[in-house]
């Protein structure tokens, strides 16, 4: 069962796994499941080693759709940094991955990070609604990074 989320606009849902004698299949994204503003422009897959965090960072214009299927378990951290949001400064933390296959839609302005808290390399798929560095990689990268700021309120445990 997906965790209860306090941050407005964040969507967390289970990813169904359809298994038979050949293996399994999961639908990660369907165009009829999200508003047009979240329609992916690209996708990428990343591997994160145990104990390593990616983020925290946020986007000015980009939304991310993360898919956690395993192997391994990730701890997802979300902070609402949108001053005009009714849930401004809210924080959510939950686990996703091997035992809890989850899709997490993170709207622009929500600071996010994830950490591999399992003991094996873990895979994450992301389907953002903007191209990294724009068309032909000729635009500034839409990231506000908080990782190096020891005084940042956005800290990964």
Domain segments of the chain: what residues? 1-12+41-134
The CA-based angle 148-41-122, given to 5 degrees, is: 50
User: Tokens representing 47?
Assistant: 């591997």
Q: pLDDT at position 120, please?
A: 98
For 131, residues 6+ apart whose C-beta sits below 8 A from its C-beta are: 41, 42, 137
CATH of domain 1-12+41-134: 2.60.120.10
Q: pLDDT at position 157, please?
A: 87
pLDDT in tens, the chain (157 residues): 889 999 999 999 999 999 999 999 999 988 899 999 999 999 999 999 999 999 999 999 999 999 999 999 999 999 999 999 999 999 999 999 999 999 999 999 999 999 999 999 999 999 999 999 999 999 999 999 999 899 999 999 8
Record the pTM: 0.95
The 3-state DSSP class for residue 141 equals coil
Q: pLDDT at position 1, please?
A: 82
């Amino acid at each position: 069962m997906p965790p209860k989320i306090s941050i407005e606009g964040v969507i967390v849902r289970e990813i169904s796994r359809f298994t038979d004698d050949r293996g399994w299949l999961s639908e990660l994204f369907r165009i009829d499941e999200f508003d047009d503003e979240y329609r992916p422009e690209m996708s990428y897959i990343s591997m994160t080693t145990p104990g390593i965090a990616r983020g925290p960072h946020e986007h000015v214009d980009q939304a991310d759709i993360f898919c956690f299927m395993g192997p391994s378990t990730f701890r997802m951290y979300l902070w609402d940094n949108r001053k005009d949001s009714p849930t401004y400064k809210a924080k959510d933390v939950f686990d996703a991955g091997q035992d809890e296959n989850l899709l997490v839609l993170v709207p622009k302005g929500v600071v996010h990070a994830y950490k591999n808290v399992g003991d094996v390399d873990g895979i994450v798929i992301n389907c953002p609604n903007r191209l990294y560095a724009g068309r032909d990689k000729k635009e500034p990268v839409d990231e506000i990074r908080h990782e190096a700021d020891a005084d940042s309120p956005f800290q990964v445990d």
